[in-house]
Amino acid sequence: MDKPTVTVRRVRPGELSSGLKEDLAKILVQVDDEFEPPLSARSGTTQAGLKDLEPVEGGGYLDEMLEQDFILAFRGDSLAGFLSFRTPHVDTRFPEVCPCIYVSTIAVGHDHRRAGVARALYAALFALPPTLPKWIVLRTWTTNEGHLGLLAELGFESVHTIPDDRAKGVGTVYLAADRSRSKTDVGRAGRLKRWLGFPAAPLPAPAAAALTPLVRGHQDR
Ligand SMILES: CC(C)(COP(=O)(O)OP(=O)(O)OC[C@H]1O[C@@H](n2cnc3c(N)ncnc32)[C@H](O)[C@@H]1OP(=O)(O)O)[C@@H](O)C(=O)NCCC(=O)NCCS
């Protein structure tokens, strides 16, 4: 049977139905322990100080996240993954990429991994109206290799790093991408890369400019 295709939908702050909130919370429970530190131990989505956290009563992270903007990804009728964001967001540690769209959470359910769901969520984020900030900023932990590989491919670059922020050897990295330069090539870059049989090394941004000589070089050989 064919794999269900991924469809995406934006849901504005406060407009999540109760059914979607439940589906979203189920994904969050599934992925909680994969985050460093777990989301359930955090008091909010932009919390500083992520080391040695004590368990939090009352789901502070979830409550704050549910009030944000969302892009939801579905496969068939099932919620497969989501991305929450705040906009406009400003952080004085990297004023050169602010105001920005700040991605507070991205998570994909276990049954839907490696099916292009995260890629589709980012493509929708890059395609948000130009009236919103051109910079997209997010943070992740420095050992989150799968996610960091995807982000590099999409043109994200590091703008701020906090070594050992989460545990010894596990820092926080803030990354930014200029969606006005690369939005039309999100996804296409990945498909072309696979088609060309390239290794998983990240492509430089913007993807289109980088790919043109790569394609030509490949054909020449
Ligand atoms: C990271 C995460 C969002 C990726 O979601 P996904 O829908 O499976 O990702 P995609 O299918 O769109 O993958 C796109 C590319 O990302 C990279 N990638 C994704 N997951 C990977 C993994 N586990 N290992 C290596 N590379 C990975 C690959 O390059 C992949 O392309 P490919 O499948 O063609 O090789 C998902 O694994 C997840 O929810 N993880 C737990 C939460 C998390 O880490 N969130 C980010 C915190 S900031």
CATH number at residue 107: 3.40.630.30
Tokens 């189920």 appear where? 26
The residue whose CA is least distant from atom 15 of ligand 1 is 150
The 10s digit of each residue's pLDDT in 86-97 is 999 999 999 999
In a domain, 35, yes or no: yes
Residue 117 Cβ < 6 Å to ligand 1: yes
Q: Is residue 180 part of a domain?
A: yes
For residue 119 and ligand 1, the question of a CB distance below 6 A is answered with: yes
pLDDT tens-place string over residues 22-66: 999 999 989 988 988 788 777 666 667 666 666 556 567 888 888
Structure confidence at residue 185 (pLDDT)? 56
pLDDT of residue 97: 98
**What residues have CB less than 8 Å from 135, skipping those under 6 apart?**
97, 98, 99, 100, 101, 176, 177, 178, 179
Residue 196: inside a domain: yes
For ligand 1, mutation pick of 26, 35, 108, 148 (most atoms within 8 Å of CB) = 108
Q: Domain range for residue 170?
A: 6-220
Q: What is the pLDDT of residues 121-154, one digit of tens each?
A: 999 999 999 999 999 999 999 999 999 999 999 9
Residue 178 burial (CB count, 10 A): 19
How many domains is the chain partitioned into structurally?
1
pLDDT at residue number 199 = 37
Mean pLDDT of the chain: 81
Residue 12 has pLDDT above 50, yes or no: yes
Tell whether 1 is covered by a domain: no
Examine residue 66 and state whether it is found in any structural domain, yes or no. yes
Q: How far apart are CA 151 and CA 137, in angstroms?
A: 11
Q: How many CA atoms lie within 13 A of 92 on its CB side?
A: 0
User: What does the pLDDT average to over 162-186?
Assistant: 85
Is 126 part of any domain?
A: yes
Q: Where are the alpha helices (DSSP H) in the chain?
A: 18-31, 60-66, 117-126, 145-153, 179-182, 188-196, 207-220
